[in-house]
Amino acid sequence: MTSRVVIIGGGFAGLSTAVHLSRHTKPGDNVEILLIDRQPEHVYLPLIYEVASGGLMEAGKEHSLKQGVSLTFDLDGYLTDYKNVRFRQGEVTDVDTEKKIIKLSSGADIKFDFLVMAMGAVSNTFGIDGVEKNAISLTSLDNALKIRKKCANLMTECERKLRPGVNMVVVGGGPNGVEVASEMAKALEDAKRECDVVCDWKITIVDAGPKILSHLNSMGSWIANRRLKKLGVTIAPGTFVKAVKPTTVLVERNAKLEHVSPFEKPTRIKSDLTIWAAGVASRPEWTAWGLPTDERGYIKALPTLQMFGTNHVFVAGDSASIIGRRMQQRAPEAMDQGKSVAENLIRVIRGQSILRAHHDRVWPFAIPLGGANAVSSFGPVTIFGIVGYALRKAIDLRYFLGVLPVTRAISVWWHGGRAYMKND
């Protein structure tokens, strides 16, 4: 009898599950894998800051920028390398784990024997007024392209002397906020120089915590601070965002932190473009679907990555809360969980009763800082500059090798590297 494994989400965790299942099942296992995602492609999110800032003044560049981060699922696309994996584009709107059926927005019902929930997380707006409407969150390829377009339009207005400058606020001083702010600063300077545009720009990073990149050791955080200042980026730590308006961001100091915020009183910062990079939250639909969730709304799973109360539903990646523990919401961790899910699924399908517990690891960070520059810290060790950048490129390659056959992986990595190197 054929076992049908349905995976919801073709991000890091879902894709890794599909690839490992396909690579390690034998024809006798009779496994059919259906990967469902609402998008037609898998997006390598760690590089979308390059799409947001790439070749701002160059028309027709979108295609090559997209190629370095997106792997299309369609039949002529990349999943053809994995014979027993099929892809269906669709938005899942309901899950019935008892009847073993999921519903798509098209009205179609899809049956499964085993289900993998790998739907990721959503941008955390903290319910702040105006974020949804007036800010663009850096969480998808579409939004990265929107940011690029808006920024290019603002620069064109400068070129035509319709505005004196560009004001940008990046909310969140974590890795995503820092990488997009530094790359944007570099891109705006390049655009000014190469296209002779007279334009004063100002980028402000706003963060509620005491410093940017607070998860790095203090050396790493200090290096990033110094580099951002050199690039001309203003940093406002200890500062809360209270509201986002179409052309301003209302901020006030974090009263718990003395003398950290540059703002003594509530202030409106000018912002023609507000980029939201303030972290992630759980998807509200999971509780509506009656799935077991923890107090933060993430799906509760056992160390075997089986969803609480079931043997046939697994959870992986940003969606999972493993016995209440907060796992690192990181790409390599999501991929590792996908691999563990695949291994356990194979055990269940082969009738074995003992499953392996997933052990999370601490993964190093390598955060790009504009151009051929990045900072990486692992415990007390800090690597930066071009060496940090080389490490970052090696991490990107390792990822592509994890999900693609070797020659294809090198080709996608090389293509993206070449397209983005022009920015560096």
Minimal distance, residue 375 CB to ligand FAD, in Å: 12
Minimal distance, residue 241 CB to ligand FAD, in Å: 18
Q: Which amino acid is at 217?
A: N
The two three-digit tokens of residue 359, written as one number? 């052990």
Choice between 251 and 334, CB closer to ligand FAD: 334
Residue 82, phi then psi, degrees to nearest 5: -120, 105
Choice between 18 and 36, CB closer to ligand FAD: 36
**Whole-number Å distance between alpha carbons of 188 and 341:** 43
> Would you tell me the crossing angle of helices 218-231 and 175-195 to the nearest 10 degrees?
20
Choice between 158 and 316, CB closer to ligand FAD: 316
Minimal distance, residue 200 CB to ligand FAD, in Å: 27
Q: How far, CA to CA in Å, does 268 sit from each of 243, 252, 262, 271, 272?
A: 9, 9, 13, 9, 12
Minimal distance, residue 268 CB to ligand FAD, in Å: 27
Minimal distance, residue 413 CB to ligand FAD, in Å: 15
Whether 84 and 27 have beta carbons less than 8 Å apart is answered as: no
Choice between 199 and 391, CB closer to ligand FAD: 391
Minimal distance, residue 12 CB to ligand FAD, in Å: 4
Nearest residue to ligand FAD, by Cβ distance, number only: 11
Task: Calculate the dihedral angle through the C-alpha atoms of 325, 329, 332, 337, rounding to the nearest 10 degrees.
Answer: 40
Choice between 31 and 71, CB closer to ligand FAD: 71
Choice between 8 and 273, CB closer to ligand FAD: 8
Choice between 116 and 199, CB closer to ligand FAD: 116
**Whole-number Å distance between alpha carbons of 141 and 135:** 15
- Classify 339 in phi/psi space as left (phi over 0), alpha (psi -120 to 50) or beta: alpha
Q: How far, CA to CA in Å, does 5 sit from each of 38, 98, 322, 374, 386?
A: 18, 15, 21, 40, 43
Minimal distance, residue 179 CB to ligand FAD, in Å: 7
Query: DSSP readout, 77-108?
Result: SGGGGSTTEEEEE--EEEEETTTTEEEETTS-
Residue 110, phi then psi, degrees to nearest 5: -125, 125
The residues binding ligand FAD (CB under 6 A) are 8-14, 36-39, 45-46, 48, 91-92, 118-120, 138-139, 175-176, 317-319, 329-332, 334
